[in-house]
């Protein structure tokens, strides 16, 4: 397993290199520039700004400097919009916000999804099973920004129970976490139900029941672990989806996370900030996918890490 893990880490480094390279040249193909405004700057001032940020050099030379700064110094460069801040400083402030929101959304997805899946599996072919699976199908079909809009209308404008925007208290995280986590909770419910139905029909489960174990003990102590394998394999794509979905949710609820900064960097042609967010997102998704694969092998030792 150690050898396979080392190969995966090397592969992660290769992926990071190609993402950085592709993204670096791609952002420079976007029309406009970081210093283009409605009022045209005098040529001398614009030339000085370009020189100050090394944007007057050939693109290949800019790429070489940027890559060297990342590899040898971990420096993501200065922000071209927020002149007094570096990209690392901005991400250091916004990354904990996005991680907190993503973690809360993942907890919502797991708690609701596993509970609903277990309930549907134990009440197979009943009206409750039909209702839960119907709600799960609807949850998968509806995008998170639609759910966010509905919840804002209900819990902010109609019942006035929760704040609509901002960040700072647990109450501010309730609506965005639910909006972000519900679609993944729906998918987890379907996967866990399917896994449980397969496991509950096995001979060794019937043996456990014949020994007088309660249905709850059979479910939690015996059936849940193998039934979790499809859910664990789904966590990698789910985490990636939660991170990418936070771009929209953070804008809707005015949360100053990495998603909001990424959208702003696209509008402002802030090359360095956009690249920094892409690099951090790629590193997070790749690392968490690797952690999910390792967890998969721990749940079932027969599976090897490839």
CATH number of 201's domain: 1.10.3720.10
How many residues comprise the chain?
306
Res. 229 pLDDT band, cuts 50 70 90: confident
Residue 108: the pLDDT is 95
304 by Cβ neighbours in 10 Å (0-12 / 13-18 / 19+) ranks as exposed
- Kindly list the distances between the CA atom of residue 274 and the CA atoms of 66, 241, 265, in Å, as whole numbers in the listed order: 13, 19, 5
| Of 7-11, 26-30, 171-175, 216-220, the least confident | 216-220
Res. 300 pLDDT band, cuts 50 70 90: low
- Kindly list the distances between the CA atom of residue 223 and the CA atoms of 62, 102, 198, 199, in Å, as whole numbers in the listed order: 56, 28, 9, 6
* 77 pLDDT higher than 70: yes
Give the mean pLDDT of 97-108: 92
* 304 pLDDT higher than 80: no
Residue 1: the pLDDT is 57
Q: What does the CA dihedral 30, 34, 35, 39 come to, rounded to 10 degrees?
A: 60
How many separate domains does the chain show? Answer: 1
Contact 184/113 with Cβ under 8 angstroms?
yes
Give the mean pLDDT of 203-231: 77
Res. 167 pLDDT band, cuts 50 70 90: confident
Residue 130: the pLDDT is 93
Contact 143/184 with Cβ under 8 angstroms?
no
- Does residue 151 fall inside a structural domain? yes
- Does residue 147 fall inside a structural domain? yes
Residue 295 or residue 24, greater confidence: 24
- Does residue 112 fall inside a structural domain? yes
Residue 175: the pLDDT is 93
- Does residue 78 fall inside a structural domain? no
Burial 158-181 (b: 16+ CB within 10 A, else e): eeeebbeeebeeeebbbbbbbbbb
- Does residue 68 fall inside a structural domain? no
| Of 32-41, 47-56, 111-120, 197-206, the least confident | 32-41
Residue 119 or residue 202, greater confidence: 119
Vertex 116: Cα angle to 120 and 233 (nearest 5) = 100
* 87 pLDDT higher than 90: yes
* 95 pLDDT higher than 80: yes
Give the mean pLDDT of 80-84: 85
Q: What is the mean pLDDT of the chain?
A: 86
- Does residue 274 fall inside a structural domain? no
The torsion angles phi and psi of 78, rounded to 5 degrees, stand at -85, 155
Range of the domain at 232: 95-265
Give the mean pLDDT of 122-140: 91
Give the mean pLDDT of 75-84: 88
- Does residue 201 fall inside a structural domain? yes
- Does residue 189 fall inside a structural domain? yes
Q: What pTM was computed for the model? A: 0.85
| Of 214-228, 254-268, 290-304, the least confident | 290-304
């Amino acid at each position: 397993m150690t050898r396979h893990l080392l190969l995966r880490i090397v592969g992660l480094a290769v992926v990071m290199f190609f993402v950085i390279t592709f993204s670096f040249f791609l952002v420079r193909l976007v029309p406009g520039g970081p210093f283009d405004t409605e009022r045209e700057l005098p040529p001398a001032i614009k030339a000085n700004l370009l020189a100050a940020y090394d944007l007057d050099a050939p693109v290949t030379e800019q790429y070489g400097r940027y890559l060297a700064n990342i590899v040898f110094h971990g420096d993501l460069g200065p922000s071209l919009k927020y002149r007094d801040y570096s990209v690392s400083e901005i991400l250091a402030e916004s990354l904990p916000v996005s991680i907190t929101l993503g973690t809360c959304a993942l907890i919502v997805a797991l708690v609701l999804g596993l509970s609903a899946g277990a309930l549907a599996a134990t009440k197979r072919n009943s009206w409750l099973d039909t209702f839960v699976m119907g709600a799960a199908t609807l949850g998968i079909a509806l995008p998170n920004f639609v759910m966010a809009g509905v919840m804002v209308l209900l819990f902010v404008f109609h019942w006035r129970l929760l704040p609509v925007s901002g960040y700072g208290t647990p109450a501010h995280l309730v609506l965005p976490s639910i909006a972000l986590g519900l679609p993944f909770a729906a998918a987890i419910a379907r996967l866990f139900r399917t896994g449980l139905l397969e496991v509950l029909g096995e001979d060794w489960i019937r043996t456990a029941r014949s020994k007088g174990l309660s249905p709850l003990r059979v479910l939690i102590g015996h059936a849940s672990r193998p039934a979790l394998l499809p859910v664990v394999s789904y966590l990698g794509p789910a985490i990636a989806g939660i991170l990418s979905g936070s771009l929209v949710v953070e804008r809707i609820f005015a949360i100053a996370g990495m998603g909001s900064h990424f959208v702003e960097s696209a509008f402002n042609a802030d090359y360095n900030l956009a690249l920094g967010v892409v690099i951090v997102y790629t590193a997070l998704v790749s690392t968490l996918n690797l952690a999910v694969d390792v967890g998969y092998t721990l749940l079932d030792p027969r599976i090897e890490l490839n």
